[in-house]
Amino acid sequence: MYILGINAYHGDAAAAIVKDGHLIAAVEEERFNRFKHSAGFPEQAIRYCLNAAGIRLEDLDHVGISRDPSAHLHKKILFAATRVASLARHQIKDRLGNAAKVRDLKDELARRFGVSKKSLRARFHNIEHHRAHLASCFFVSPFERAALLSIDGFGDFISTMWARGEGNSIEVLGQVEYPHSTGIVYTATTQFLGFPYYGDEGKVMGLAPYGQPRFIGEFRDIIRTEENGRFRLNLDYFRHHAEGVEMTWDQGSPVIGRVYSDEFTQRFGPPRTPGAVLTAREHDIAASLQLRLEEVGFHVLNHLHEQTGLTDLGLAGGVAYNSVMNGKFLLNTPFKRVFIQPAAGDSGTALGVCYQIYNGILNSKHRTVMSGAYTGPEFSNDQIRALLEQSEWPFESYTDKELTKRAAQDIAAGLVVGWFQGRMEFGPRALGNRSILVDPRRAEMREILNDRIKKREPFRPFAPSILEERVGDYFEQTHPAPTMLMVYQIKEERRKEIPAVTHVDGSGRLQTVSRELNERYYQLISDFAELTGVPVILNTSFNENEPIVCTPQEAIECFRKTKMDVLYLGNHAVRP
C-alpha cells in the first residue's frame, strides 16, 4: 500500500511517500527548483518520491495534503465576519483561491502528470495542518506513548496544538488559535530587526546571545501567558489580525508582508534597515524575544506534562526549529526524552500526512521509527565518476577506509572540505551527507567560511558534529541530538579546544553522530579524533546562498564558485 503526503501552497512545499508503513522518501521542492523555502506545488518532489518507490501516480492508494479548508471553519467564519471590512478584496480572493486549490488536488495532480483524473484510484485526504505536524513527531518517534506539541506561525487557523499520543491515536488536549502565535511574534520581530526573508528567524536566535534581555518587560506584555497552557498576544503590536498579512510566492520563495504594527516602532524606535550596523538595541531585542519565547515554551510544556503525566515528548512545527529553546526544555520542564522530527517545519507535514493516514486513519499496526533524516536523492559512485570524467576536474578514487582517513587529514590540515555522500537530508540541517566540513579547533575557520563560502552574517555560529559516545566529555547535557535541533552549553574547559563551534555564550548546536545512523560520517569523525584527539568536526550545510545542493553537478558548481579546497563525492575526491 502506497501513501503520498504533500505540503503545497505553503512555505517549504514537500512530498513524502510511504510503502506499507516504511518511509521510502521525503524531500523538499526547493532542492529541485532551487528557490529557498519554495512554496507552490511540489511537482518535482512528488516525481522523485514516485521514482524512489518505483511506481506511477496511478498506483497510489492514498494521497493527502496537510491542509484542511474545512477545519476550524466556524472559527474562521466568526473571525472573518468581525474583520471582513478591513480585509482588502484581493486578499479575500487569494485566500479563497488557495482553499480551492487545496480542494482540487486531484485535478492538479492529474493535470501536472498528464494522466486522466479517472485513472487515479487513490483515496484523497485533507489532514488538518497541526494534526499533520503532531503525526510527524509521534508516529515516527521511538515512543509508544508521548506528550506532543506542534508550535508554529499558523496553519489552518491554529498556531499551537498539544496532544497525547498513544498507539495509533493522537488525542488533542489544547490549542491556541489565530491571531495568537509565538511564531508570528518571532517573525514580526525578525522583520523589525532588518532580516526580511522567509526563514530568517534563525538569524535572530543566533543574535540573541550577544544581548541582554532588557526588553523582557515589553515582550511579557507582547505575549501574555494564560491559564491552561494558553497564551495571547497584545494585538496592538501586530497587523496580521486587523489588516491581513499575505504570503506570496511569485518568485518561488515565499514573501510575507510586514507583520509588526506602528505600535512596535513607537515602543522600540525605527526598524533597522537591512544590512545596517547591528547595535546593542538589536542585540537586546533579540535576547528579550528569545527569553520570552523560552518562557512561553516552558509554560505550555509544563501544562502539557501536568495534563499527561508523561516524560517523553514529540515536538514539531516551525518554532521547534528554535534549537536554543529545545535544549532548555530538558532543564526547565519535567520532560526527559525528546523526539524532534528533523523536518519539524512545514515540509515535515508531508511526512505527517502519510502517517496520519497510515496509523491514525487506517489504524495500521506497524510502527516506523525515523532515525536520521536521510530520505532524499542519492547518486552512485559510477554516476559520479561518469560526471567527473566529463568535467575539467582531476580526481582520485579511494577505498572506503582510505576515503575517511584522507578527508580527516585534509580537515586537520585546515582545508575546507566539501562532503557529498549518500542520501540527501530532509529538513534544513545538513547532517553529514551534504555538508561542508572544517577543523573546529581553528578559530579562524569561521571567518574563512563566512568570507569564502557562506557569505553570511559574522554573528551566526557554526555547528559541531560529535561522536555520540563522547558528548558528555564536551557538553553539559547528553541527550542525543541526531538532527542538530538542540543547543547545549559546551563545558567551560573545552571551549578553547573547539573555538570555531563555540558560540559567544559558550553554547553549541550539536549533532550527535552514531555509527548506526551514518556509518561513513561516524568513521570520518573517528579518524579525525584519532589524528587530533578531538571527536568533533565543524559541519555546515553544502550551499552558498541557496538551497542545499542536491546533485553532484550542483556540488561541483558550488565547489567551483566558492573555492573550497577539496571536494569528496562518494568515493572520489577532486582537488583543484
* Residues near Fe ion, by CB under 5 A: 152, 155, 346
- How far from the centroid of its chain's Cα atoms is residue 192's Cα? 22
Please identify the residue of the shown chain whose CB is closest to the bound Fe ion.
152
CB-count exposure of residue 84 (10 Å: 0-12, 13-18, 19+): exposed
- Is the Cβ–Cβ distance between 135 and 170 less than 8 Å? yes
Kindly state the smallest distance separating residue 210's Cβ from Fe ion, in Å.
Answer: 29
Strands 566-569 and 463-467: unpaired
Closer residue to Fe ion in complex, CB, 155/428: 155
Grid coordinates 563551534 are at which residue? 501
AA letter at 18: V
Closer residue to Fe ion in complex, CB, 161/467: 161
Closer residue to Fe ion in complex, CB, 155/199: 155
Closer residue to Fe ion in complex, CB, 68/152: 152
AA letter at 183: G
SS (H, E, C) 167-224: CCEEEEEEEEECCCCHHHHHHHHHHHCCCCCCCCHHHHHHHHHHCCCCCHHHHHHHEE
Closer residue to Fe ion in complex, CB, 65/567: 65
Kindly state the smallest distance separating residue 422's Cβ from Fe ion, in Å.
Answer: 28
Of 489, 488, 507, 501, the residue nearest 446 (C-alpha): 501
Number of other residues whose CB lies within 10 A of the CB of residue 492: 9
Kindly state the smallest distance separating residue 155's Cβ from Fe ion, in Å.
Answer: 4
Q: What are phi and psi of 62, to 5 degrees?
A: -140, 145
Kindly state the smallest distance separating residue 153's Cβ from Fe ion, in Å.
Answer: 7
Residue 238, strand partner residues:
260
Closer residue to Fe ion in complex, CB, 131/272: 131
Kindly state the smallest distance separating residue 318's Cβ from Fe ion, in Å.
Answer: 5
Kindly state the smallest distance separating residue 39's Cβ from Fe ion, in Å.
Answer: 13
DSSP 92-137: HHHHHHHHHHHHTHHHHHHHHHT--GGG--PEEEE--HHHHHHHHH
Kindly state the smallest distance separating residue 454's Cβ from Fe ion, in Å.
Answer: 27
Kindly state the smallest distance separating residue 13's Cβ from Fe ion, in Å.
Answer: 12
Closer residue to Fe ion in complex, CB, 165/183: 183
Kindly state the smallest distance separating residue 133's Cβ from Fe ion, in Å.
Answer: 6
Grid coordinates 511537482 are at which residue? 43
Q: Give, to the nearest 10 degrees, the angle between helix 519-532 and helix 400-412.
A: 50
Closer residue to Fe ion in complex, CB, 315/387: 315
CB-count exposure of residue 273 (10 Å: 0-12, 13-18, 19+): exposed
Closer residue to Fe ion in complex, CB, 341/543: 341
Closer residue to Fe ion in complex, CB, 341/523: 341
Of 375, 343, 357, the residue nearest 150 (C-alpha): 343
Grid coordinates 524531500 are at which residue? 27
DSSP 213-279: -TTHHHHHHHEEE-GGG-EEE-GGGBSTTTT---EE-TTSS-EE---B-HHHHHHH-SPPPTTSPP-
Grid coordinates 497587523 are at which residue? 239
Kindly state the smallest distance separating residue 468's Cβ from Fe ion, in Å.
Answer: 29
Kindly state the smallest distance separating residue 317's Cβ from Fe ion, in Å.
Answer: 5
Number of other residues whose CB lies within 10 A of the CB of residue 108: 18
